[in-house]
Amino acid sequence: MSKAEIRTPLPGIFYRKPAPDEPRFKNPGDKVAVGDVIGLVEVMKTFTQITSDVEGTVLSFLVEDEEAVMPGQVLVEIET
In this predicted structure, the answer to whether residue 3 has a pLDDT above a threshold of 80 is: yes
Radius of gyration of the chain measured on its C-alpha atoms: 12
CB 52 within 8 A of CB 33: yes
| pLDDT value of position 1 | 72
Kindly list the structural domains of the chain, giving each domain's residue range(s) and its CATH number in brackets, ordered by start. 3-79 (2.40.50.100)
CA dist 68 and 75 (Å) reads 11
pLDDT tens readout for residues 19-75: 999 999 999 999 999 999 999 999 999 999 999 999 999 999 999 999 999 999 999
